């Protein structure tokens, strides 16, 4: 081996070693005993709130520094999955109900049962943070509901009273017609969406998307069919744009450019919308969802309630410290900071008003979002949902476009969900 070659080899191995070393020193404990933790989230609007919470923890535990990192929703899951595969998950991260079962059931998340003060969280919040085995794999972070956003000016022009808790589906239809006749604007904008669309109507009618044990679909149930038929049928009215319209114009965009009078919106978007459309502030408000006037069962009231949780990887190196941080995030103090930042409604029961208080400076009454927790329904989920989610929404589009009639379409949805779920529950 010539000297040159030996030198080259040495140089290469130094480079490689340096590369490996820098990769490893990314996180963890530094020489002075400070622990640096990473905290991954996807919503940039909540960054300040999350940082405030972390700072509050650091104030009490100066040796723990937490860095909040924001990744966009789409990248978030690609990155987290890759990180889970290589055992390099962030120390703390948000978990969503869409994905929690996949992570929890495959042993990627640490069991958090020992740090959650279950008496302070609703059953829905706890269920949204649980794996299929019923154990808690996250600390409940927030909870949400869906409300009816409406344009006050259009109601005034049409001489229709604003929506309130007495409203039923019939009022929704008649108000939409009256507004369309008087102003030429669209009424209630019903479009192809699950959480902000048909799910709510299905549960109001007394139906459900999945059977009670979440192992099979329930699309062929008469009550479910009733809700689906009513919701999908709304687009046949002149006052509701068809699905082609929504393919190009999001209902929110249509609403805030004053093309339509009503749409369903999740509470998590309200603050951003107030900030993004300053000219519209004062022209709109929110109400509880209208009830089904003649439900097959139940009282006709329902709204979908989802919730995020804070989680950590099953093999975290600083498990004790991370769990202590998570415990703080789930405590009254941590949840209060979150609520007061306007980020989201705290999952911690009794702190809902901290979120409502954020809206004091705006002419809008968001109390209805809190009131609806009394009859809220847990967001639909089972372990196979990633597989059937987009196929069900494709089928819904085919019903909208007339390619499938309603009963064939619902039958197809039933089969899609059952087939995908069978792999997990048999």
Partner 1 sequence: MKKTSKLSRDGAVWGLVMVAPTIIGLLVLNIWPFIETIYMSFSKSKAFGTFEFNGLDNYIEMFQSTEFWKATWNSIYFCILTVPVGVFLALLVAVLLNAKLKGRTAFRAIFFLPMVVAPAAVAMVWKWIFNTEYGIINSILGQNVRWLTNPTIVLVTCAIVAIWSAIGYDAVLLLSGIQNISASLYEAASLDGASKVQQFFHITLPMVSPTLFVVLIMRLMASLKVYDLIYMMVDQANPALTSAQSLMYLFYRESFVAGNKGYASAIVIWTVLLIGIVTLLQFAGQKKWVNYEV
72 binds partner 1 (CB under 8 A): no
Residue 251 Cα distances to 154, 280, 391, angstroms: 16, 15, 22
201 binds partner 1 (CB under 8 A): no
247 binds partner 1 (CB under 8 A): yes
| In contact, 368 and 287? CB cutoff 8 Å | yes
Among 85, 161, 406, 422, binds partner 1 (CB under 8 A): 85
CB of 245 to partner 1, least distance (A): 7
394 binds partner 1 (CB under 8 A): yes
193 binds partner 1 (CB under 8 A): yes
192 binds partner 1 (CB under 8 A): yes
DSSP annotation of 196 reads I
| In contact, 91 and 37? CB cutoff 8 Å | yes
Among 2, 31, 236, 297, binds partner 1 (CB under 8 A): 2
Count residues near partner 1 (CB under 8 A).
33
65 binds partner 1 (CB under 8 A): no
Give me the helix-helix angle, 332-340 and 319-329, nearest 10°: 60
DSSP annotation of 348 reads B
Please choose, out of 31-39, 240-248, 313-321, 405-413, the segment that lies near partner 1 by the rule CB under 8 A: 240-248
Quote the CA–CA distance of 140 and 137 in Å, as a whole number.
9
Phi-psi map region of 131: left, alpha, beta (phi>0 left; psi -120 to 50 alpha): beta
59 binds partner 1 (CB under 8 A): no
Site for partner 1 in 90-149 (CB under 8 A): 102, 105-106, 108
Q: Which residues sit opposite 142 in a β-bridge?
A: 346
233: tokens are 């049928």
191 binds partner 1 (CB under 8 A): yes
390 binds partner 1 (CB under 8 A): yes
346 vs 409 by CB, closer to partner 1? 409
Please choose, out of 31-39, 140-148, 207-215, 246-254, the segment that lies near partner 1 by the rule CB under 8 A: 246-254
4 vs 59 by CB, closer to partner 1? 4
372: tokens are 């609806």
The residues, any chain, with a CB within 8 Å of residue 127's CB and separated by 6 or more, are 378
Q: What is the 3-state secondary structure (H, E, C) of 74-143?
A: HHHHHHHHHHHHCCCCCCEEEECHHHHHHHHHCCCECCCCCCCCHHHECHHHHHHCECCCCCECCEECEE
Among 168, 215, 243, 407, binds partner 1 (CB under 8 A): 243
CB of 316 to partner 1, least distance (A): 17
Phi and psi (nearest 5°) for 269?
-100, -10
185 vs 226 by CB, closer to partner 1? 185
CB of 120 to partner 1, least distance (A): 32
Binding mask 359-388 for partner 1 (x = CB under 8 A): ---------------------------xx-
244 binds partner 1 (CB under 8 A): yes
The label of the residue with tokens 């705290």 reads 346
Among 45, 71, 81, 127, binds partner 1 (CB under 8 A): 81
Q: Is 255 strand, coil or helix?
A: helix
399: tokens are 């019903």
Applying CB under 8 A, the residues found at the interface with partner 1 are: 2, 4-5, 8, 78, 81, 84-85, 102, 105-106, 108, 191-193, 243-249, 386-387, 389-391, 393-394, 397-398, 400-401
């Amino acid at each position: 081996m010539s000297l040159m070659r030996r030198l080259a080899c040495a140089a290469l191995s130094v480079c490689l070693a340096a590369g490996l070393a820098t990769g490893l020193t990314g996180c963890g404990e530094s020489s002075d005993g400070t622990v640096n933790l990473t905290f991954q989230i996807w919503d940039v609007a909540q960054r300040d709130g999350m940082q405030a919470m972390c700072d509050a923890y650091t104030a009490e535990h100066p040796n723990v520094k937490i860095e909040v990192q924001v990744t966009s929703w789409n990248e978030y899951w690609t990155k987290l999955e890759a990180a889970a595969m290589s055992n390099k998950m962030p120390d703390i991260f948000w978990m969503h109900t869409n994905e929690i079962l996949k992570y929890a059931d495959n042993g990627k998340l640490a069991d958090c049962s020992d740090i959650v003060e279950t008496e302070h969280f609703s059953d829905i919040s706890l269920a949204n943070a649980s794996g299929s085995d019923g154990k808690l794999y996250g600390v409940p972070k927030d909870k949400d509901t869906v409300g009816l956003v409406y344009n006050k000016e259009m109601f005034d022009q049409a001489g229709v009273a604003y929506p309130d808790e007495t409203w039923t589906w019939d009022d929704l239809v008649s108000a939409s017609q009256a507004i369309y006749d008087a102003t030429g604007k669209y009424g209630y904008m019903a479009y192809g969406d699950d959480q902000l669309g048909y799910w709510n109507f299905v549960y109001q009618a007394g139906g459900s998307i999945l059977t009670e044990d979440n192992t099979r679909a329930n699309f062929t149930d008469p009550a479910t069919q009733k809700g689906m038929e009513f919701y999908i049928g709304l687009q046949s009215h002149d006052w509701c744009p068809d699905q082609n319209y929504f393919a190009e114009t999001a209902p929110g965009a249509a609403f805030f450019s004053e093309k339509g009078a009503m749409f369903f919106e999740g509470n998590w978007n309200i603050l951003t919308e107030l900030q993004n459309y300053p000219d519209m502030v004062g022209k709109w408000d929110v109400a509880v969802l209208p009830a089904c006037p003649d439900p097959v069962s139940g009282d006709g009231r329902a709204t979908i309630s989802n919730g995020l949780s804070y989680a950590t990887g099953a093999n975290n190196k600083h498990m004790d410290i991370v769990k202590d941080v998570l415990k703080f995030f789930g405590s009254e103090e941590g949840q209060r900071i979150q609520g007061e930042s306007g980020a989201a409604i705290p999952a911690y029961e009794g702190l809902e008003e901290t979120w409502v208080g954020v809206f004091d400076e705006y002419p809008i009454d968001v109390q209805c979002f809190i009131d609806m927790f009394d009859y809220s329904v847990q967001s639909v989920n089972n372990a196979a949902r990633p597989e059937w989610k987009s196929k069900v929404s494709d089928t819904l589009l085919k019903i909208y476009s007339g390619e499938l009639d309603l009963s064939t379409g619902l039958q197809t949805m039933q089969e899609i969900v059952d087939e995908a779920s069978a792999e997990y529950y048999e």
